[in-house]
């Protein structure tokens, strides 16, 4: 047991080192600067975008794309979202030294419809890229073992709303994107399995979404390491993105015990299933 704990902790250290290496790179800094130019849309607007284009990724208006050196391709239909109407109000603000200064603040007065476009609808200057969120490729028998041992119901779907998978916080049902490779589906299933253990149920600790994602993907990375699957190309970028760069390392350390506990429970469940299968095969052979 002590040896297993040491191996899991070594995988945790590998995860931290990988994130640190990525977030210190010039490519990552350039990538974040580029993505910071895009608006953080409200839930309602994200829902509207998804309903019109489920696979949308980077959204901006016609003029914003033009400033980035890209143009909307001829014939593309824009995505309709809500944009705020504002007016400027001048207020008096007292300073610490007692002086009063005028300050102009925006006041929301309503909303209007506007049109935006996804990056897939544009062409032009190449976008800055970094080798993150690169899906795993290849086939593996481990995926079938995971399906057989997972305590949550699993279903493969043609569309998971632009994601590789999801788990219902109400029913605990896991959905996996059918078109992905078995390697990617295996990693995704472990990720959602971790959500089920850590974030679903009346007695679980309620944590912010970015922490939930950090915990689930860290668990997936550690379990994959133990099973011989290298998910670093995907997991490092995923965690750095959700953790806002280097802060991911701090958040992962704070959740370390929960991550290791979930990793150990998943691995024990898989090993127990494998042992039962081996025993069943032995009995069948004897008969």
Same domain, 191 and 111: no
User: What integer pLDDT is reported at residue 210 of this predicted model?
Assistant: 87
Q: Is residue 195 part of a domain?
A: yes
Helices (H) and strands (E) in the chain, counts: 10, 8
* Token pair belonging to 283: 């009995």
User: What integer pLDDT is reported at residue 248 of this predicted model?
Assistant: 76
| Burial track 154-169 (b if 16+ CB lie within 10 A, e otherwise) | beeeeebeeebbbbee
Global pTM value: 0.63
Residue 64's CB is within 10 A of a number of other CB atoms, namely 15
Does the pLDDT value for residue 233 go beyond 90? no
* Token pair belonging to 17: 């080192």
Give the angle 104-81-243 at the CA atoms, nearest 5°.
Answer: 75
Same domain, 106 and 187: no
pLDDT in tens, 160-190: 888 899 999 889 999 999 999 999 999 999 9
Range of the domain at 77: 36-124
Same domain, 171 and 268: yes
Same domain, 138 and 226: yes
């Amino acid at each position: 047991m002590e040896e297993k704990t040491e191996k899991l902790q070594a995988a945790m250290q590998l995860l931290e080192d990988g994130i640190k290496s990525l977030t210190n790179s010039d490519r990552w800094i350039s990538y974040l600067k580029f993505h910071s130019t895009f608006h953080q849309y409200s839930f309602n607007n994200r829902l509207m975008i998804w309903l019109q284009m489920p696979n949308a990724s980077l959204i901006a208006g016609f003029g914003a794309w033009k400033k980035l050196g890209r143009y909307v391709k001829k014939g593309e239909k824009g995505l309709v979202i809500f944009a705020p109407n504002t007016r400027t109000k001048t207020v008096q603000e007292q300073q610490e030294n007692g002086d009063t200064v005028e300050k102009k603040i925006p006041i929301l007065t309503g909303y209007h419809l506007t049109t935006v476009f996804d990056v897939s609808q544009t062409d032009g200057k190449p976008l800055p890229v970094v080798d993150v969120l690169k899906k795993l490729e290849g086939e593996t028998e481990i995926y079938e073992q995971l399906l057989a041992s997972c305590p949550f119901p699993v279903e493969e779907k043609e569309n998971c709303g632009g994601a590789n998978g999801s788990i219902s916080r109400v029913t605990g049902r896991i959905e996996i994107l059918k078109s992905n490779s078995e390697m990617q589906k295996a990693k995704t299933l472990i990720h959602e399995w971790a959500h089920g253990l850590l974030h679903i149920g009346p007695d679980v600790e309620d944590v912010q979404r970015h922490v939930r994602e950090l915990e689930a993907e860290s668990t997936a990375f550690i379990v994959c390491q133990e099973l011989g699957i290298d998910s670093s190309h995907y997991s490092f970028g995923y965690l750095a993105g959700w953790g806002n760069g280097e802060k991911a390392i701090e958040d992962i350390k704070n959740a370390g015990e929960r991550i290791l506990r979930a990793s150990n429970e998943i691995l024990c469940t898989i090993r127990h299933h494998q042992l039962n299968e081996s025993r069943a095969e032995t009995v069948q052979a004897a008969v």
